[in-house]
Amino acid sequence: MNKKFLLGTGLAFTLLFSPFGQAFASEPTVGERKQVDNIAHRGATAYAPENTIAGFDLAVDMKADYIEIDVQRSKDGELVLIHDTTVNRTTDGTGKVGDLTFEQLRSLDAGSWKGEQFTGEQIPTFEEILDRYHGKVGILIELKAPELYPGIEEQVAEALKERNLDKPQNEKIIIQSFNFESMKKTNELLPKVPIGVLTSNRAHTTPEALQEFSTYADWFNPSYGIVTKDLVNQVHSLGMQIGSWTVRSQEAADFLFEMGVDAIISDYPDYVDPRN
């Protein structure tokens, strides 16, 4: 529980409007920061190309608690990591991910757009990321547009089961998506793996909507623009945790610390972790 909730009403009111209280609110302590999971959004995206080994390695070096990855599928059935449903923005190729074979995807340069030092970075596979990072860092798996890839939930579940990552006593794994039906299905396939729902829609923050999410999700992960203390309290009261995205400024990170979220998903892991 956020310790500010333990303050008496009068003291809380006094602190809120005092210069000291305002300073305290904007400067979370090191202890408070460490209680919040630091999730590197597509890796350390501010400093290295997203969804690449270079970006994930840097996130680990920057002491992230989790790396967040985006999973899609090639034309010939290989699970790969890329955010957009086309390769146009983050590679030197063009076309839809699902229309390209794994060999075609693997031949693309997914790093040089971020800087010459990243030339030759490839689109990774889901399985190589699991093998490289489980046990080193938590992995927040986003199923990106799963409606485009029928059966992708079963494929992801099988890859986790093969590595005994479908049980809570193993390394940290969370699966999330904007597609709620996909998450219901994933929850059935992997009942012991935490499930997250993503949204930027305030309509999904009503008590009725949150109650529905809590029947199958462990995490409610909204964009930070719709986060309030009341929302955080509602989510917690339903037994869920809350992680918010995408932080690209220290001010946004500090705001989320003040709101009492459980995780911050950021392009800048150093805005979240005081050790950087």
Query: Using CA atoms, how far apart are residues 89 and 200, in angstroms rounded to an integer?
Result: 22
| Residue 151 CB neighbour total at 10 angstroms | 11
- 134 catalytic? Reply is no
Cα dihedral value 269, 270, 271, 273, nearest 10: 90
Measured CA distances, 236 to 7, 215, 271 (Å): 18, 14, 24
| Rg from Cα positions in the chain | 19
- 236 catalytic? Reply is no
| Length of the chain in terms of residues written | 276
Contact 90, 50 (CB under 8 A): yes
Query: Using CA atoms, how far apart are residues 150 and 10, in angstroms rounded to an integer?
Result: 55
Query: Using CA atoms, how far apart are residues 223 and 204, in angstroms rounded to an integer?
Result: 11
Contact 134, 166 (CB under 8 A): no
Question: Among residues 41, 134, 204, 236, which one is catalytic?
Answer: 41
| Residue 269 neighbours by CB under 8 Å, 6+ apart | 38, 40, 44, 59, 62, 63, 64, 276
Q: Which residues are catalytic?
A: 41, 83
